[in-house]
Amino acid sequence: MKILLCAFDPFGGESINPALEAVRAAKVDGVELVKTEIPTVFYKSIKKATAIIDEISPDAVIMIGQAGGRAQITPERVAINISDANIDDNEGNRPTDEPIESGAPAAYFSTLPIKAIVEKLKAENIPAAVSNSAGTFVCNHLMYGVLRHIEKNSLHTMAGFIHIPYLPEQTVNKENMPSLPLEVSTKAIEIAVRTVAGLI
């Protein structure tokens, strides 16, 4: 099975993105993992991810992003057709109440086995929960764009998004902010990959 892992570069003033670091470290026997760094930029993120999807034809796409403030690994249930940013992306864009694609469906649901992923993570004592909001920043934007591309092109590709918390070093100057060590988030991604691939 071929699985594409997409992870964002650092954004919002951070020097590191736990998603990118965990994806770089992830290793899963029995699965062909293709890893790519995605720019935290509206539209460019979709363009890069969908170009790679068209090039390599993966069986599944797992997109990974940082969710500062969350204490759990959170597979996302749904992406909505709106971009509404309260900070700039990495090229200074800050859309307000803009549809990602005019006239397209209001939302797309993840096609990953999100509840099974959560169950497998909890079985390994990793805090996890299904999330019902991917926000309205580039994470939601990318998830929506990839699922839209899959539908429009009738691809037989599973896809979905998983948010992970800050790394401990990102919270030094952030009071009462949850985090997870890199090795825990890496293990979580590996478990998600194995669950998607039907290895566990």
C-alpha to C-alpha distances, 160 to 15, 113, 125, 170, 188, nearest whole angstrom: 25, 9, 22, 25, 15
The answer to whether residue 163 is catalytic is yes
Q: Give 34-38 contacts, CB < 8 A, sequence gap 24+.
A: 34/2, 34/3, 34/4, 34/5, 34/58, 35/4, 35/5, 35/7, 36/4, 36/5, 36/6, 36/7, 37/7, 37/8, 37/9, 38/6, 38/7, 38/8, 38/9, 38/63, 38/142
Distance in angstroms (rounded) separating the CA atoms of residues 108 and 91: 26
Q: Provide the pairing of β-strand 74-75 with 158-164.
A: antiparallel
Whole-angstrom distance, CA of residue 166 vs CA of residue 47: 26
- 145's tokens: 């764009």
Q: Spot the catalytic one: 6, 21, 141, 163.
A: 163
Contact between 5 and 35 (Cβ < 8 Å): yes
Q: Which of 21, 139, 149, 190 is catalytic?
A: 139
Catalytic residue among 21, 76, 141, 190: 76
The catalytic residue positions are 76, 139, 163
